[in-house]
Structure 1
Amino acid sequence: MSGTTPQAGSNEGSGDQLSLNTTTTLRDSADVPPPPRGNVILKEMLRGSAVTTILAIFLALVVGGILIALTNEDVLTASGYFFQRPSDTIAAVWNAVYNGYEALFRGAIFNARGADFATQIRPLTNTLGFAAPLIAAGLGVALAFRVGLFNIGARGQMLIGVAVAGLLTFQLDLPFWLHIPVTLIAGIAGGALWGAIAGLIKARTGAHEVILTIMLNYVAYYLLLWMIRTPGLLQKPGTNQALGYATPESAQFPELLGPQFPLLDFGFVLVIVATLFVWWLIERSSLGMRMRAVGENPHAARAAGISVQRVYVYAMLLAGALAGLAGMNQIQGAVTTGLTETIDAGIGFDAITVALLGRSRAWGTFAAGILFGALKAGSFSMQAQDIPVDIVLVVQSLVVLFIAAPPLLRAVFFLPKTDAEKAAKSRAKAAKKAVTA
């Protein structure tokens, strides 16, 4: 008994010491004031996606400026005697980058050199015109993203929408107030049908939507090419080339601000309406709630009684309809001289970039489409400054790269890490200690 009594006392003393240390720690923690409210708000802002997007665009423009300088002849000439007169190289770099981005702004937003106000603001209307089909197709890709589907088939959905509209409506003799909506509805329905095919196969067989949409892109491309090479279908009368019918004048979108601004037409209004619809559908409707649930966790959604297969079909049908709207912006607005197999102009694939930059949100996609429309409109002015148009494509790619890698941006700009990143770092440290132990 005498051997056990000291041990019990020792344990009791250790417990008292532990209780005392805990009390002291709690008291010290209580004495530390919480961080100021302003610091918390600033930290959350720096962690937010808006700041990340802005910094991604800024960093992409910086890299683009470096590429502009490296490809400029004056800079290359001045760099040959850099150590003799470094100021010449610095001045040449500044002039090359400034002139390049000034040309981009002048071609996309406002041309201060214009003779009148209409000429000065025409670049902005060109930007909006170029952005319209990008936004429409981007909304389709973004909607599919929210359901957990990677829709790479916007190109095929655009082409089928164009083919259906051309086959069913171009030969009709209708007044413009009827011909425009009939052509529009036919094109949207064609795109929706093509998207629904991928969704139905995905739902029925479980086949991956990436493979399905890629293969359907090829099918749509060669199907349209066959149609515009076949007399009696879409081939333009009097030619044996791969050129389809021109869009009837009564089916073309009216210009919003008159002939001085030819690229801005009624299609942009339709794109705004489509953005409102997608926002309401995803964020406010019951179907949108089911779509978001499936996108977050299809297994949990199925356990909650949601028909995942049906949601997949709905999502791809709507995504195809939006891509069809993008196709109608092309044939009823931008390209009315004749159908070709390249009528999509790469918009179907650019839509993926737009949706990623817009964080798969309706208004984010809208803003991203405006940005890419500005880059496209401004690239023509940059070419006049002997700047390769490929640099604009590099800037677009870098924006997506930086958007897809937030930790890289936070490391470059020393931004605070998110809670998820801190937790991941803590888990990595704990795993490393466990291995070494």
Structure 2
Amino acid sequence: MALVVGAVLIAVTDPEVRTASGYFFSRPTDTLSAVWDAVFGAYSSLFQGSVYNFRRPRFVDGIRPLTETLTFATPLIAAGLGVALAFRVGMFNIGGRGQMLIAAACAGYVGFTYDLPPVVHLIAAIVAGVVGGALWGGIAGLLRARTGAHEVIVTIMLNYVAFYLISYLLRTPGALQAPGSNNPKTPAMADTAVLPSLFGTRYSLHWGFVLVVLVTAAVWWLMERSAVGYRFRVVGENAAAARVAGIRVERTYVWAMVLSGALVGLAGVAQVLGTVTTGFTADIDAGIGFDAITVALLGRSRPWGVFAAGILFGAFKAGGFAMQAAESIPVDIVLVVQSVIVLFIAAPPLVRAVFRVPESRSKAAAR
């Protein structure tokens, strides 16, 4: 349904379609042909920019769009897992931007400051970033547990605190700013702290994607097979009942936000050690912290659902630029399609009403 809505928008905004529609009643086939060319051209460019480019003669070149999709998806999946974990506990972590910034600053500082052996340096940088994101997320969980402060307000405010703090450090010599530079940018990461390429320098995909796959499996086991995950889910379903059952709800809130911040922080680590290794600025989060909310919603807050949703949105990001370059279609159309997807996912009654699908008896009885 979202792709159909996107097709309508592509057709309406296409100049050739608008020109042909001016004489639609005299030559209607021209308008229909222009609509087909616009929509087919846009979606074929979207596919070739995100999955496989058939215009390339060699397979190693044609498959490159898929690696770009997975590269874009890596931080989205990590951040989406963090938001989804908070959702399962009944909390709304909207502070992804701040957690990513703090994690990127911690990982980046270790990455360009210290001189360590290759493997040790990379592990130290990753751990520093994850711990930074966990601590920043834990602040919201602690305030929720101790004072009852709403995590939405706290995490939004912490976004501003993190942004201006990192902006200040990027303009402070001896902190994060590159030596001898007047620009608010860090030095380049040391080669020993950079995530290696997964298939060689020809592609931008790095080992961060493999790490995210392992983390997705770990989060699935945590939420579905462990006692901690059981407590998380019980608190998310009914905090009062969980408290009566003996579960320490306040402690659960704290640990949920710590783990959520750590996962979102991993997205910042993937950005600074895998994608933007030549130094980063205060916009290193690239809107991923907010996109992660969409990914978590689309994935129904389930780890492997979030994984699939992250790859889908990574495809939109990779293919959107190709669509804009090849067909001169605004990349905003891709954002509209993403928004419509979330609209349909978040409003199942709307989809049932459109297709006249009755509600299942079990769900009706439960309601």
TM-score normalised by length of structure 1: 0.82
Asked if residue 348 in structure 1 is aligned to residue 289 in structure 2, the reply is yes
Which residue in 2 is equivalent to 1:146? 88
Q: For structure 1, which segment, 285-294 or 247-256, has the greater mean C-alpha deviation from structure 2 after superposition?
A: 247-256
The 2-side partners of 1:125 and 1:246 are apart by 23
1:367-398: CA deviations, max 9, x gaps?
A: 00000000000011111211000000001111
Give 5+ residue unaligned stretches, structure 2: none
Larger radius of gyration between Structure 1 and Structure 2 = 1
The 1-side partners of 2:220 and 2:120 are apart by 28
| Aligned AA (2:69) | T
Cα-Cα RMSD: 1.2
* 2:331 pairs with one of 383, 389, 396: 389
Q: Is the 8 A contact 2:98 2:160 kept in 1?
A: yes
Please give the residue correspondences for 1:355-394 in structure 2 after superposition, counting only pairs within 5 Å.
Answer: 355-384=296-325, 385-394=327-336
Which residue in 2 is equivalent to 1:296? 237
| Pairwise CA distance, 1:195 | 0.5
Q: Is the 8 A contact 2:80 2:310 kept in 1?
A: yes
Please give the residue correspondences for 1:276-295 in structure 2 after superposition, counting only pairs within 5 Å.
Answer: 276-295=217-236
Q: Is the 8 A contact 2:171 2:184 kept in 1?
A: yes
The 2-side partners of 1:415 and 1:273 are apart by 38
The 2-side partners of 1:220 and 1:115 are apart by 47
| Pairwise CA distance, 1:420 | 6.8
The 2-side partners of 1:337 and 1:71 are apart by 38
Please give the residue correspondences for 1:307-346 in structure 2 after superposition, counting only pairs within 5 Å.
Answer: 307-346=248-287
Asked if residue 219 in structure 1 is aligned to residue 161 in structure 2, the reply is yes
% identical equivalent positions? 64
Which residue in 2 is equivalent to 1:56? none
The 2-side partners of 1:267 and 1:168 are apart by 17
The 2-side partners of 1:198 and 1:128 are apart by 31
Please give the residue correspondences for 1:7-406 in structure 2 after superposition, counting only pairs within 5 Å.
Answer: 59-262=1-204, 264-384=205-325, 385-406=327-348
| Pairwise CA distance, 1:168 | 3.7
The 1-side partners of 2:54 and 2:183 are apart by 43
Q: For structure 1, which segment, 242-251 or 146-155, has the greater mean C-alpha deviation from structure 2 after superposition?
A: 242-251
| Aligned AA (2:87) | F
Give 5+ residue unaligned stretches, structure 1: 1-58, 426-437
| Aligned AA (1:246) | A
The 2-side partners of 1:419 and 1:229 are apart by 61
Which residue in 2 is equivalent to 1:9? none
The 2-side partners of 1:130 and 1:394 are apart by 18
Whose relative contact order is higher, 1 or 2, with alpha carbons under 8 Å and at least 6 apart?
A: 2
The number of residues matched between the two structures is 366
| Pairwise CA distance, 1:115 | 2.3
